[in-house]
Amino acid sequence: MHPSPAERSAVAPSRPVPAPEAAHAPPRPAIPAGRGSIDAVLATRYAGTRRLHLQYELAGPEDAPVALVAGGISAHRHVAANVLDPSPGWAQGLLDAGRALDPARWRILAFDYVGADGALDAPIDTADQADAVALLLDALGIAQLAVFVGYSYGALVGLQLAVRHPQRLRRLIAVSGAHRPHPYAAAWRALQRKVVALGQLQCADEQGLSLARQLAMLSYRTPEEFAERFDAPPVLCNGRVRVAAEDYLDAAGAKFVARMPATAWLRLSESIDLHRVDPAQVRLPVSVIAVDGDRLVPLADAVALQEGLGCHGRLRVLRSEYGHDAFLKDTARMDALLASELAAPLPARP
């Protein structure tokens, strides 16, 4: 199911736009930043009342509008380089100088998801994350976000925030996320969790988590990308056949194991599948950005979300060979869509 041009915004072309060479980028002043944690008491949906430590990072001018940026389940509070931490953040390509969310013009807030440290071994709902955001905003003295920009799991959290705490944000940009999980994607994640459980039974926790991540990479990307990158004949290695993509997948698995606790991954993976939001309950402007080729959040689900939002929803579509990971890989074209949506006028709130 594809949106017609008359009904929805134009579909961006499928080829990536080359990013400017970093060597030619003008130097920029260091972005002021602070980070910390707050102690919070959170009434969770499935695990009762819990005492939590919410870790956050806030970067940008103090008088700038606040944008909360939230990513996938493995994302964290360090989204971009700043004076406190000059290392690149997970969303660096979307927050560089001159981008729509340039931290020189925005105050960028990000936090570690509830359960991200692996300390909470209980079901976690996206509603719990939204309630945690509200507690964090209270603690930081932020009455309202100018925008919540959510990618993947972050889009789910943003939708919950829009329903549960609509007064805390002026607009939502939901990228590669919908009001419910697609059954095919949920089945894929269930198998990944079983791989982790099998590894734990065999006292091979790291191997299980690594394999689960490698399976997940196949769902994040597309057959078209793999055909372009790994179209090479297999080789024999120690008497076994090894295909061209295996080195890439092994490296992705090892990198993930080094930074993500298994309990955190399991519980946040479940959280995606627990997610449900009634779009009709959202009463603020939502820009839905979908990727044609996303195997986890099909375009049809984004269309259904936009239709459920009614007059509050606006759909933009990007064609990308990077599938669900387009927001991390196709950053120039994703940024162009973000700039357009951020520039759209806001209707008067009732």
* Residues tagged active-site: 152, 294, 324
Q: In what order do the strands lie in the sheet with 11-12?
A: 11-12, 313-319, 286-292, 172-175, 147-151, 66-70, 107-111, 49-59, 33-43
Nearest-angstrom CA–CA distance, 341 and 330: 17
Please state whether beta strands 286-292 and 172-175 pair in parallel, antiparallel, or not at all (unpaired).
Answer: parallel
Packed helices 183-201 and 262-274: angle between N→C axes, nearest 10 degrees: 160
DSSP string, 95-156: SSTTSTT-TTTSEEEEEPPTTTTS---S---HHHHHHHHHHHHHHHT---BSEEEEETHHHH
Residue 107 pairs in a beta bridge with 66
* 278: three-class secondary structure by DSSP: coil
